[in-house]
Structure 1
Amino acid sequence: MNSNSEIKSLLQKFVLNQCTPEETNEVIAYYKKNQLTDDFPTVEDIQQLLSEMPKMDKQTADAIFMNILSTSKEEGKEESVIEMPARKSNFRKYISIAASIVVLLGIGFFYKQSLSTKSAEKQFDFKSTDIVLQLENGDIQVISEKNSSIVKDAKGNIVGNQTGDKLVYENNSDPEKLVYNTIKIPYGKKFRLQLSDGTFVHLNSGTTLKYPIKFIAGENRQVFLDGEAFFDVAKDKKHPFIVNADNLNVRVLGTHFNVSNYPEDTVTDVVLVEGSVGMYSSNEEFDALKNTILKPGFKGSFNKENTKISTKAVLTDIYTSWINGGLTFRNMTFKNIITKLERRYNVTIVNKNEKLANEKFNASFKEESIENVMSYFNEIHGINYTIKNNQILIK
Structure 2
Amino acid sequence: MNSNSEIKALLEKFILNQCTAEETEQIIAYCRENNLTEDFPTVDEVKNLLIEMPKMDEQKADSIFNTILSASKEQETVIELQPRKSNYRKYISIAASVVVLLGIGFFYKQNMANKAVEQKFDFKSSDIVLQLENGETQIISENNSSNVKDAKGNIVGNQNGDKLVYGNGSDSEKLVYNTIKIPYGKKFRLQLSDGTFVHLNSGTTLKYPVKFIAGENRQVFLDGEAFFDVAKDKKHPFIVNADELNVRVLGTHFNVSNYPEDAATDVVLVEGSVGMYQSNEEFDASKNIILKPGFKGSFNRENAKISTKAVITDIYTSWIDGGLTFRNMTFRNIITKLERRYNVTIINKNEKLASEKFNASFKDESIENVMSYFNDIHGINYTIKNNQILIK
TM-score (norm 2): 0.73
Question: Are residues 1:275 and 2:279 paired?
Answer: no
Q: Tell me, in whole angstroms, the C-alpha distance in 1 between the residues paired with 2:267 and 2:110.
A: 40
Once residues 16 and 348 of structure 1 are traced to their aligned partners in structure 2, the CA distance between those partners, rounded to angstroms, is 47
Cα displacement (A) at 1:110: 11
1:300 and 2:302 correspond: no
Question: 2: distance between equivalents of 1:115 and 1:297?
Answer: 41
Question: Over residues 175-224 of structure 1, what are the superposed CA-to-partner deviations in whole Å (9 max), with x where a residue is unaligned?
Answer: 11100000000000000000000000000000000000000111110000
Q: Is the partner of 2:302 in helix, strand or coil?
A: coil
CA spacing shift, 1:158–1:357, aligned 2, 3 Å: same
Q: 1:181 and 1:272 mapped to 2: Cα distance? A: 26
- 2:184 is aligned to 187
CA RMSD of aligned residues (A): 2.4
What do the CA deviations read for 1:294-329 (whole angstroms, capped 9, x no partner)?
Answer: 110000000011110000000000000000000000
Displacement of 1:173: 1.2
Does structure 1 retain, via aligned residues, the 8 Å contact 2:196–2:228?
yes
Which residue of structure 2 lines up, in the alignment, with residue 311 of structure 1? 308
- 110-119 vs 327-336, which deviates more? 110-119
- Residue 348 of structure 1 is matched in structure 2 by 345
For residues 178-327 of structure 1, the aligned pairs below 5 Å read 178-327=175-324
- Alpha-carbon distance in 2 for matches of 1:307, 1:365: 31
Q: 2:116·2:136 contact (CA, 8 Å) conserved in 1?
A: no
Match of 1:124 among 121, 125, 138: 121
| Alignment partner, residue 89 of structure 1 | none
- 1:132-171, Cα deviation, whole Å (9 max, x unpaired): 0000010101100000000011111110000000000001
Q: Give yes or no for the alignment of 1:335 onto 2:332.
A: yes
Between the aligned residues of both structures, percent identity stands at 82
Residue of structure 1 equivalent to 2:173: 176
Between 171-180 and 238-247, the greater mean CA deviation after superposition? 171-180
What secondary structure is seen at the aligned counterpart in 2 of 1:356? helix
Using structure 1 for the length normalisation, give the TM-score: 0.72
Q: Which amino acid aligns with 2:150?
A: D
Aligned to 1:72: none
The answer (yes or no) to whether the contact 2:181–2:204 under 8 Å persists in 1 is yes
Could you give the per-residue CA deviations for residues 309-365 of structure 1, whole angstroms, max 9, x where no partner exists? 000000000000000000000000111000000000000000000001111100000
Distance in 1 (CA, whole Å) between partners of 2:8 and 2:218 is: 51
Segments of structure 1 that go 5 or more residues without pairing to the other structure are 18-53, 56-108
Residue 367 of structure 1 corresponds to 364
Which residue does the alignment assign to 2:95? none
Q: 1:377 and 1:12 mapped to 2: Cα distance?
A: 66
How many residues end up aligned between the 2 structures?
Answer: 300
Q: Secondary structure in 2 aligned to 1:307?
A: coil
Aligned partners of 1:12, 1:390: CA distance in 2, in Å? 54
| Partners of 1:112 and 1:281 in 2: CA distance | 29
Match of 2:358, SS state, is strand
SS at match of 2:270: strand
Counterparts of 2:214 and 2:307, CA distance in 1? 34
Conserved in 1, the CA contact under 8 Å of 2:223 and 2:258?
A: yes
Pair 111,287 (structure 1): closer, same or farther in 2 beyond 3 Å: closer
Distance 1:11 1:199, change over 3 A: closer
Residue of structure 2 aligned with 1:142, choices 139, 142, 146:
139
C-alpha offsets along residues 233-259 of structure 1, whole Å, 9 cap, x if unaligned? 001111110000000000011000000
Counterpart of 1:171, as a letter, is N
- 1:15 offset after TM fit, Å? 12
Give secondary structure in 2 for the equivalent of 1:129: coil
Name structure 2 gaps, 5 residues minimum.
16-51, 54-107
Matched, 1:153 2:150: yes
Q: Which residue of 1 aligns with 2:377?
A: 380
Distance in 1 between residues matched to 2:165 and 2:14, nearest whole Å: 45
CA distance in 1 between partners of 2:12 and 2:231 (Å):
55
**3-state SS, counterpart of residue 136 of structure 1:** coil
